[in-house]
Amino acid sequence: MSLELMAKRTADLYGKCFGQPPRWIVAAPGRVNIIGEHTDYNQGFVLPMAIERYTVFAGDGNNRREVVMHSMTTGDTATFALKNLKPGSPAWSNYIRGVTFHFRKLSPRLAGFQAVIDSTVPSSGGLSSSAALEVGAATLLEAITRQTLEPLKKVLLCQKAEHDFAGVPCGIMDQYTSVMARKGHALLLDCRTNTSTPVLMPGDDVVVLIINTTVRRRVGDVEYSTRRAQCEQASEALGLPSLRDATIQDLSALSRIRNPVVHRRARHVVTEIERTLQAARALEAADWTTLGELMYASHESLRVDYEVSCLELDAVVEIARSLAGDGVIGCRMTGAGFGGCAVCLVKSDAATHLIRRIGWLYEYRTGIQPEIFSTRPASGARILE
């Protein structure tokens, strides 16, 4: 569905729910990470881009000191007072509760608001549906209060909302991409300085396919926190501020003093940071062979050393790799892992055929029908009207 159609649909429902047209319509995109997985919270590099899938808010301020939000995706409504904001239910409202809580500290002017929310970002798929919700909410609040935040401040506010209200100790990549993304570009983001360089995705030769395995393991959040803690253990043991500062030679010291699991986790991070830098150069030079090899190497490292893949993601990557002759450039799992989506770079003229072929082979192998779509790099969050 086009963004225009989504905006219209959301505004129409707002009119039905609240008896007048919305004052504002805003959109925030989901993201896909091309490479650089589980490196952001180690102050490393990542190479994400925004996708043409959005969370749209149609909304307006109110003076009732309360927030009323209706989700078209879940069909339920969340209502909460501005005072004493705490996590609550439904679960999706926590992202908005968190953003509202932190935004109010910057803009006491906020006296309440109401909105209808729609989204085409698949939830729990590793495509940052939560970041799109947070960044969409922050963009709506900017519009309502007419107070534009400095973009990095907005990113950090949304990240903090996720830490404090959803309890997930995420890195900065998702919120950063949803705010800062540039059309036609990926972002080489340095998660130490929180600065990025846009990397043009050259011409129309390639498109990104997103292959949703549609499986999601419940252990995901716990395992994410465990991985983060293991990385901290590794950098502490090495006497370094973060794994960004470690070299592959440093890691041999680690194998003497720590258990082999921590060593493998650190090896993934150190090698993945290096692959991400190489991938950005390959993308810029349209060196598809190198980029493809780096994506497969990243997947292998996530599967073996970081242990965040799963059978279904491995199946997608194997299937894609077997179709190199049909126009597949590279493929890997994307996002936190334990299910969700794979990202697959393909030659544009082969995309339609590959969507069918990968879909069929995946279903044949797993018995599950995947969701597959193509996207070009999209722009970051914005006010539509």
CA pair distance 59, 99, nearest whole angstrom: 15
The whole-angstrom distance between residue 173's C-alpha and the CA centroid of its chain comes to: 7
Q: Which of residues 42-71 bind ligand GLA (CB under 6 A)?
A: none
Nearer to ligand GLA, 33 or 242 (CB): 33
CA pair distance 34, 56, nearest whole angstrom: 24
174 has catalytic annotation = yes
**What are the counts of helices (DSSP H) followed by strands (DSSP E) for the chain?**
11, 12
Q: Site for ligand GLA (CB under 6 A): which residue of 38, 70, 303, 357?
A: 38
Q: Which stretch binds ligand GLA (CB under 6 A): 32-40, 61-69, 142-150, 230-238?
A: 32-40
For residue 204, the minimal CB distance to ligand GLA (Å) is 28
CA pair distance 170, 134, nearest whole angstrom: 13
For residue 275, the minimal CB distance to ligand GLA (Å) is 13
Determine the straight-line distance between the first and last CA of the chain, rounded to whole angstroms. 18
Q: CB within 8 A of 372, min separation 6: which ones? A: 209, 210, 211, 212, 355, 358, 359
381 touches ligand GLA (CB under 6 A) = no
41 touches ligand GLA (CB under 6 A) = yes
- Catalytic hit among 40, 174, 245, 326: 174
Nearer to ligand GLA, 15 or 169 (CB): 169
For the chain, give percent helix, strand, coil, nearest 5.
Answer: 45, 25, 30
272 touches ligand GLA (CB under 6 A) = no
Q: CB within 8 A of 304, min separation 6: which ones? A: 264
Nearer to ligand GLA, 171 or 380 (CB): 171
Q: Site for ligand GLA (CB under 6 A): which residue of 336, 350, 361, 372?
A: 336
Binding mask 166-185 for ligand GLA (x = CB under 6 A): ----xx-xx-----------
Q: Site for ligand GLA (CB under 6 A): which residue of 335, 339, 370, 377?
A: 335
Nearer to ligand GLA, 54 or 176 (CB): 176
The whole-angstrom distance between residue 328's C-alpha and the CA centroid of its chain comes to: 23
CA pair distance 143, 113, nearest whole angstrom: 11
Strands 66-71 and 113-119: parallel
Q: Which of residues 131-170 bind ligand GLA (CB under 6 A)?
A: 170
CA pair distance 37, 206, nearest whole angstrom: 21
Binding mask 279-318 for ligand GLA (x = CB under 6 A): ----------------------------------------
Catalytic residues: 174
Interface ranges with ligand GLA (CB under 6 A):
33, 37-38, 40-41, 170-171, 173-174, 335-336
